Structure 1
């Protein structure tokens, strides 16, 4: 039996169930009866790429406001109820999705489902709460971006990689636009996108499909579908860079020299058949930790880097990204490290991946997938993330078999196509002259 079949068996053993409510809510049930625990994730198909022009960061801001309460559950009540029931919760906003997560004992699932259903349609917040939370987000941007040179560099690189496309705008938003957030903009965004026909509810754990269907109908069934939601969301088509872009940043807060290189590529939802899987495996071969070819070359063999890695940013709806990065070893210049990375990527583009490399990558990747299937959180995130990005349940469950079908020739093809230096954005971060002197 191949690794792919083992991975497929692991998924099918879960007997993932899918159904839709009359109002359009998509529900995924992943039974797991090993422990009396349930994980709930509610994914909204809206993220920072849907922010109105000139109001970047609004999707992330609305995520914050979702904890401000409703008439039935006033501000602070959500956290108190989850804590009182021994659960945990979290939320996050990405380019294409906003997700809310709760993990509780199975008999407390009705409680947290009622909380999520309530705030899907009954969110309330005052002008004072908007002002207060706006200050929280501004402080978050100051601490995570303004005071982090690497985050500043990455924002500039993304803007160059996706010119004219919302992916080039930071999820948290631009500082001056966050300052202008208004209650009216937040309400309009919430009413437009927070609706059952724009959401995926994933329940994993000690549950049955029948009981989840009953709970979903009771809690979400009466919420009306949004009538203003676009059937197909049209976003600007971004043109890849036509010549190499290099962005340099010197900052006294920087540690060692860092070199990063990005390439725009198709994502799983936007790629031609087989391309995303080939890109995925190629980057696992190249940037898979200490066993990756990039690490072995730059760190072990040439001793130019203290560490090296990267990856394939996959679950985006419109496009993906390949990332290569390295931190310079002591005494190594930015020019030396960049030249070594350039040479390595050129060899990769010419066909440096072997059959042995591919076999090892498939084996470890599919094994990792099987191990991840033992985690409710991982499974809920896996299905919810890809479904809300545009894949179907059948496509997700066929993933192990498609990975197993990738050949060395497939990897050579995507490497030659997408690792074009003219399409690249390189970022170089190094300490300023003053900090080097100090």
Structure 2
């Protein structure tokens, strides 16, 4: 093992270590002492190096704030004031993976590359994007990625538009998606799983810039983050870079982002929800039935 329990490497204290036979890797759990960030490093001989930083983002409404924030952080930052750094990276980088993903309870920013310099640059872009995004000082990014009013001409009706707004109109247009959303809403009404983290197009236009900014200040802090590193890399230089360029500028704080347990579990009920069909379609044989069951953590 390269490190021992209790070792401190560039501000990261090793809190646990083990060897994982299935992936032939030495696993190191670490905690950044100043910022509170957690880190997992899997050391092995794989030249495909992986990095991601994720935040537990637990919304209590369906305005799509986690999803819109995921898009918006990648629209320019302190070091990289481009309109769409993500698009430029996708075109010019040597990456083997590049994405950003929103789940009901977390937001993740993963990258991978076989080239050392490219890996370092991608990591720098993503860390700067999540901690110092331009979207906090430029409301037009929220308008572009989230929602805005649109008027084609003086006689046209006022409509809504936006990247996430349109994306979610498509994502929630199928009967299966509507059914699953309704089921989650009924099964987990008191948790983050009972709302649409991606955003409900009916609700997205109620998101304000102030609420959007506060969401970042609340959840996008190192104390609420988990960093993952994998592969054959200069881990000393990598940890040094993450510490000196980013984490050492933050003090640890308490961030409440816990995922509640639904209690009590809902009683059995029958729920109906409508879905759209084309104007000329028949209503015959259009009904879809599904059975959803919620189990608590203690049932075996």
Shared fold (TM-score, shorter chain, > 0.5): yes
> Per-residue CA shift, 1:341-381, capped at 9, x if unaligned?
xxxxxxxxxxxxxxxxxxxxxxxxxxxxxxxxxxxxxxxxx
Matched residues in 1 for 2:276 and 2:90: separation? 43
Q: For the structure 1 residues 142 and 206, does the alpha-carbon distance in structure 2 shift closer, same or farther, using more than 3 Å as the test?
A: same
Matched residues in 1 for 2:245 and 2:113: separation? 17
What SS does the aligned partner of 2:123 have?
helix
Q: CA deviation at 1:69?
A: 0.9
Q: CA deviation at 1:18?
A: 1.6
Q: For the structure 1 residues 177 and 225, does the alpha-carbon distance in structure 2 shift closer, same or farther, using more than 3 Å as the test?
A: farther
1:41 and 1:203 in contact (8 A); partners too = yes
Residue matched to 1:68: 75
Question: Which stretch shows the higher mean deviation, 67-76 or 93-102?
Answer: 67-76
Residue matched to 1:109: 119
Q: CA deviation at 1:220?
A: 2.7
Selected match of 2:222 from 196, 207, 212: 196
Q: CA deviation at 1:233?
A: 3.3
Q: CA deviation at 1:248?
A: 6.1
Residue matched to 2:133: 123
1:40 and 1:102 in contact (8 A); partners too = yes
Q: For the structure 1 residues 180 and 106, does the alpha-carbon distance in structure 2 shift closer, same or farther, using more than 3 Å as the test?
A: same
Residue matched to 2:108: 99
> Per-residue CA shift, 1:259-293, capped at 9, x if unaligned?
42211123xxxx34xx5xxxxxxxxxxxxxxxxxx
Matched residues in 2 for 1:241 and 1:211: separation? 51
1:193 and 1:226 in contact (8 A); partners too = no
- Asked whether 1:59 is paired with 2:90, we answer no
1:140-179 map, 5 Å: 140-145=167-172, 147-179=173-205
> Per-residue CA shift, 1:8-34, capped at 9, x if unaligned?
6314x3111121212111111112324
1:192 and 1:226 in contact (8 A); partners too = no
Residue matched to 2:155: none
Matched residues in 2 for 1:130 and 1:39: separation? 29
Residue matched to 1:241: 266
Q: For the structure 1 residues 18 and 9, does the alpha-carbon distance in structure 2 shift closer, same or farther, using more than 3 Å as the test?
A: same
Q: For the structure 1 residues 234 and 173, does the alpha-carbon distance in structure 2 shift closer, same or farther, using more than 3 Å as the test?
A: same
Q: CA deviation at 1:85?
A: 2.8
Q: CA deviation at 1:52?
A: 4.7
Matched residues in 1 for 2:220 and 2:41: separation? 21
1:195 and 1:225 in contact (8 A); partners too = no
> Per-residue CA shift, 1:55-78, capped at 9, x if unaligned?
631111111111111132122234
Tell me the matched-pair count.
256
Name the TM-score, length of structure 1 as normaliser: 0.53
Matched residues in 2 for 1:155 and 1:89: separation? 28
Larger radius of gyration: 1
Matched residues in 1 for 2:292 and 2:48: separation? 40
1:121 and 1:223 in contact (8 A); partners too = no
1:159 and 1:169 in contact (8 A); partners too = yes
Matched residues in 1 for 2:127 and 2:216: separation? 14
Matched residues in 2 for 1:218 and 1:201: separation? 15
- Asked whether 1:138 is paired with 2:165, we answer yes
Q: For the structure 1 residues 129 and 184, does the alpha-carbon distance in structure 2 shift closer, same or farther, using more than 3 Å as the test?
A: same
Name the TM-score, length of structure 2 as normaliser: 0.75
**Structure 1 residue ranges without an equivalent (≥5):** 1-6, 276-413, 415-438
**Structure 2 residue ranges without an equivalent (≥5):** 1-18, 147-161
Per residue, is there more helix in 1 or in 2?
A: 1
Q: For the structure 1 residues 82 and 226, does the alpha-carbon distance in structure 2 shift closer, same or farther, using more than 3 Å as the test?
A: farther
RMSD: 2.8
Residue matched to 1:27: 39
Matched residues in 1 for 2:239 and 2:255: separation? 24
Structure with the larger RCO, 1 or 2 (CA within 8 Å, 6+ apart)? 2
Q: CA deviation at 1:38?
A: 0.9
Matched residues in 2 for 1:187 and 1:174: separation? 19
Matched residues in 1 for 2:275 and 2:80: separation? 48
